[in-house]
Structure 1
């Protein structure tokens, strides 16, 4: 199985690279399937099965992401030129698609990009690439660090993970209303269950935002409560690139690193801190924390 899967994935990787290099050109089914040397009659099913979204959707998202990066260059091309280069027949059609996906008009995004919704909107592209380029970890990647306690506001999600996006949107809206942007406040996820429990109703995780010391932010209603991420020793594993699914990193700490380390877990769940890279459009990084005694 491994012997046949590796060249298969290599062919799929060529496809993604081809798409990324030719976003301004023709990317129809026949030309793209030829890059992978697959029959066009089956390729669209193969693409969806491998990456979790259709070829058309992948190309559409990739072009929209490229357009958004061009918009972020305030001194760059006009909105109209960017819209046409992205394959839209009119600026209005581009504006509708852009607002539907990112929650901002192209002109508003150019003035003040909202990077959190941007990352959520294009996470399927990162997730697709992670299918053929899984990240591997070694013990050398893990550092033990003493972390300080952090006062946080907590949004809890319970139930089917397919509905998590609704909780995320409420979380983002609340922190924006309080002026707690990622630029001035930390972001954490605390996992109380595995990512895909046997019973989806058992899924539980918490979205947290750090509260500034001495702040008088009112924590009431809207499903938010105050709490604390306790300080202490933690094994920390940093993940860059696709941080949409951090379960492999958490499993590495639990299953591989911990038994060989001689350490013992503390009575607090695995959690992560998320943060933007130096240029927000480059995406995020995450540090997965395994609390230790």
Structure 2
């Protein structure tokens, strides 16, 4: 990783970790080892957007996640926590980006407008991960695990609705993440799969089979067996880079065969409960 890239990765991590605070330009300049005369221009050149726009988009993303997946939080509290002085100011900006008011989005989240505006940040994260980031691969034996599953079938940008439904069932079933491990079973690569054919399971561990229910939750099992494991700390935006690394670089050199089970993620810590740069996801590739 170049020294220049390393500087701006530190800037982005600092911004992610301090979204609640008034960001100090002097601190950002020190992290980038740049004077204030050059900082903004070079940030814009490296990130593809100004620092102000980056902060605004990251705060809006967190606000959207809080609205969609944390229904106990009031809209006003979410607005204030993300730097807006009033419900009205937050609503104006939010509707401009999501084509819905915060309350409308909470009832029926639509992420399509957001993905279009968020594309520069997505590309930035991928480029950082692509350029020299090293991944440590461990081999672990995973125990057989009974899981309750919400099967998402359809475009990735509709995943939010499935996730909301799963969270609702999980709360009613008294299975919080503190007591029940959280998993995603990933059957398809969204980059090469038609949106309508995309498949992903949202799941949590359970002690006994799930009874028939109105949510569409079904029983499945993660089988016991060896896995190649990478711990990813940071945003989901760059997780595809690690999956690609496992398949295209690690697997051919390791001289092992994959088992007949999809790659899966264990969600150890969640956004927006923790900042994006502190999210922990263990990525499991089942191998013989």
- Identify the residue that residue 222 of structure 2 maps to in structure 1: 229
Inter-CA distance 18–185: structure 2 relative to 1 (3 Å threshold): closer
Comparing 126-135 with 160-169, greater Cα deviation is found at: 126-135
Distance, in Å, in 2 between the alignment partners of 1:56 and 1:134 is 21
- Identify the residue that residue 75 of structure 1 maps to in structure 2: none
Distance, in Å, in 2 between the alignment partners of 1:97 and 1:174 is 31
- Identify the residue that residue 47 of structure 1 maps to in structure 2: 49
Q: Structure 2 unaligned segments of length 5 or more: list them.
A: 26-35, 64-75, 95-100, 107-117
* Equivalent pairs, count: 241
- Identify the residue that residue 88 of structure 1 maps to in structure 2: 84
- Identify the residue that residue 29 of structure 2 maps to in structure 1: none
- Identify the residue that residue 33 of structure 2 maps to in structure 1: none
| Higher RCO (Cα < 8 Å, 6 or more apart) | 2
- Identify the residue that residue 69 of structure 2 maps to in structure 1: none
Contact map agreement 1:175 1:181 (CA 8 A) in 2: yes
Contact map agreement 2:8 2:43 (CA 8 A) in 1: no
1:10 Cα deviation after fit = 7.6
Which of 188, 193, 214 matches 1:193? 188
Give CA-to-partner distance per residue, 1:170-194, whole Å, 9 cap, x none.
1111111111111100111111111
Distance, in Å, in 2 between the alignment partners of 1:39 and 1:231 is 47
Inter-CA distance 238–87: structure 2 relative to 1 (3 Å threshold): closer
- Identify the residue that residue 161 of structure 1 maps to in structure 2: 156
- Identify the residue that residue 267 of structure 1 maps to in structure 2: 260
Inter-CA distance 56–285: structure 2 relative to 1 (3 Å threshold): same
Inter-CA distance 134–86: structure 2 relative to 1 (3 Å threshold): same
Root-mean-square deviation (CA, aligned residues, Å) is: 4.6
Alignment of 1:138-153 (within 5 A): 138=135, 141-153=136-148
Alignment of 1:1-293 (within 5 A): 16=12, 24=22, 35-37=39-41, 46-47=48-49, 55-56=52-53, 58-59=55-56, 61-62=58-59, 83=80, 87-90=83-86, 100=102, 127=122, 130-131=125-126, 133-134=128-129, 136-138=133-135, 141-211=136-206, 213=207, 215=208, 217-276=210-269, 280-282=273-275, 283-293=278-288
Contact map agreement 1:156 1:206 (CA 8 A) in 2: yes
Larger radius of gyration: 1
Contact map agreement 2:182 2:204 (CA 8 A) in 1: yes
Contact map agreement 2:126 2:241 (CA 8 A) in 1: no
Q: Structure 1 unaligned segments of length 5 or more: list them.
A: 1-5, 49-53, 67-78, 104-123
Distance, in Å, in 2 between the alignment partners of 1:151 and 1:271 is 14
Give CA-to-partner distance per residue, 1:5-35, whole Å, 9 cap, x none.
x7996897687579677952799xxxx9963
- Identify the residue that residue 69 of structure 1 maps to in structure 2: none
1:234 Cα deviation after fit = 1.0
1:143 Cα deviation after fit = 1.2
Distance, in Å, in 2 between the alignment partners of 1:292 and 1:87 is 46
Give CA-to-partner distance per residue, 1:132-163, whole Å, 9 cap, x none.
5326234xx11111111110111111121121
**TM-score, length of structure 2 as denominator length:** 0.64
Give CA-to-partner distance per residue, 1:17-67, whole Å, 9 cap, x none.
79677952799xxxx996332799xx8x9429xxxxx9547426439969x
Contact map agreement 1:161 1:196 (CA 8 A) in 2: no
Comparing 245-254 with 153-162, greater Cα deviation is found at: 245-254
